[in-house]
Amino acid sequence: MTSQPRKSLSAESTGTGMPDHQSADEARAHPYDGADRALRAMLAQVTGEVSQQAAAGAWLDWVMHIGRAPGRQLELAQHAIESAWKLAADMGASAETDPPFTPGPNDHRFAHPGWSQPSFRAMQQAFLAGHDWWDHATDGIPGLRRQDAARVRFMARQALDTLSPSNVALTNPEVIEHALKSNGHSLAAGASLASKDLLRALKHEETAPPSKFKVGHDLAATKGEVVYRNALFELIQYAPQTDTVRAEPILIVPAWIMKYYILDLRPENSLINYLVGQGFTVFCISWINPGPELRDVSLDDYRTDGLMAAVDAVSTITGNEKIHACGYCLGGTILSIAAAAMARDGDDRLASVTLLAAQTDFTEAGELMLFLDESQVSLLEDLMSDQGYLSSDQMVGAFRAIRSEDLVWQRAVRRYLLGIEEKETDLGTWNADATRMPARMHSEYLRGLFMENRLTAGRFAVDGKVIALRDISAPMFVVGTETDHIAPWRSVYKTKLFTSCDLRFLLTSSGHNGGIVSEPGHPHRHYRIGHRKPGALYMDPDTWLASHAPHEGSWWPELVKWLDGHSGERIDPPPMAAPDAGYPSLGKAPGSYVLIR
């Protein structure tokens, strides 16, 4: 069964809550707009998709405000002098003495014991002192926009990171040690890898995923069938692994910013395989990797022709109107929107709603907000108007910049100075298999949700009428991850602020991906869990954290236990597909969409 997503929806019906009219100035077409946009799109390619106006504006805001604060200038000068004294005093300190400056919790560049030796320690401490000074220089300046302060701090740290002593072979004790032990072979191997990567970049070749893991064989290997396909997604139904199953099926809604198989890696760490093995009938959406032909697909198309089409299919195939819906990341956001719209319209097919590292409020959306303002979004729109989509490389670049000390510099040191090829992993293979974003949808998402926060501000319209998350009566299971840079857990926690239903909030260790892929038996994992009863008073996140003790192990059994409590009796497994109802089997899982690069 195939259908096409609706195109050119009115702004009011897209789900963004954007008004369906423009001012006369906005609506007026200027004769040279196309030429201007093409030029800006070309400049965006040159500047790495970063708005130079936004960067310059942030620096100007900082300079102007620091320039009229002589007292703060004196304070910063004093801080620099105090740091210099600390560095001088540390020169003669023993290796056992705690240094005055320490790297951040996610900065592993200085983990090698050689950094405790006096000469290397002095360089490391001077570098960290620079970071510390810029943190102070961009903090608490009256009148300075908070976003500009964060952006200047970010840009200063990016510039300083290029000067880190860990990036130079002669000032990195780990590199020197490896070179001596290998008689220089590590440096030669690194040079060879660097030349290969440079040649690939000059040829504009995409980096192929490692061959050790194959999608459909090693990864995304849980048995199932594609039971529905349209222009936006394929729906996979997984084969039962138990004699009986819970009456209510599970529909998993992954983010279209990623391939779905982050939830179906190897069998031993596949959340989908785990749920099927626990006696659930599981369906999963596999979004298409869009090209320019889907440039006009809207955010609301992902709700109607995506999620709601999947809900209809699951209900028909299983014969059960009640569905456990589970959304991950951006998939959780669109699930929240759909659930609120369904509740408003009297559609009670959702037995429960599970949100995995998914935000509904974007006022504290983390470091991604450093890249978002009117100038930056307009630049992306110019670029997308030329391409029809935002490319995977452009998406990945922003995420890498946020964690540059780990994802850029430390990786470069290991690869080019230590000569160590990255170990092939299932998560690494998935991470390299990135996706694109349709132009219209991405623009609506950035503006309506990230920039204007319309969903929780009561200004997000679906089918011309504003929706409210508090209308959702289905029980909710919300998961945040402790070190998430994409969806910070305190932002995810705010779901509790805008809903009133029965809700479990669970906070697990690790980050946006690693915290979700946390199978039983995974070492060094823990979680906290709490229950908010309907109508209970709000508890702020820090109080919640202090009042809920950690539990060792995986959080997956907690989800299964919760789903059990909201499920009916066990029944015989439903049939695979439903050809008589228009949902025939279209092939084996993982289908064809997941293979599109």
CA distance 306 to 457: 25
Residue pair 471/344 in contact (Cβ under 8 Å)? The answer is yes
CA distance 207 to 216: 20
What token pair was written down for 25? Answer: 């100035």
CA distance 52 to 48: 10
Q: Which residue has the tokens 């003495």?
A: 97
Residue pair 412/198 in contact (Cβ under 8 Å)? The answer is no
CA distance 12 to 298: 11
Q: Is residue 420 classed as helix, strand or coil in its secondary structure?
A: coil
- At a CB cut-off of 8 Å and minimum separation 6, what does 440 contact? 295, 296, 297, 298, 299
Q: Which residue has the tokens 């409210």?
A: 468
Sign of the CA dihedral with 219 first, then 220, 225, and 230 last: negative
Residue pair 467/461 in contact (Cβ under 8 Å)? The answer is yes
Distance of CA 574 to the CA centre of its chain: 34
The catalytic position among 284, 326, 329, 501 is 329
| 329 annotated active-site | yes
CA distance 534 to 502: 5
CA distance 335 to 352: 11
Residue pair 356/510 in contact (Cβ under 8 Å)? The answer is no
CA distance 294 to 172: 48
Output the CA torsion 172→178→182→185 (10° steps).
Answer: -60
- At a CB cut-off of 8 Å and minimum separation 6, what does 470 contact? 498, 499, 500
CA distance 398 to 7: 29
In the 3-class helix/strand/coil scheme, how is 140-156 assigned residue by residue?
CCCCCCHHHHHHHHHHH
Q: Which residue has the tokens 């964690």?
A: 403
CA distance 517 to 524: 13
CA distance 507 to 445: 26
CA distance 542 to 148: 26
CA distance 594 to 597: 8
DSSP β-ladder status, 245-246 and 570-571: antiparallel
**Catalytic annotation, residues:** 329
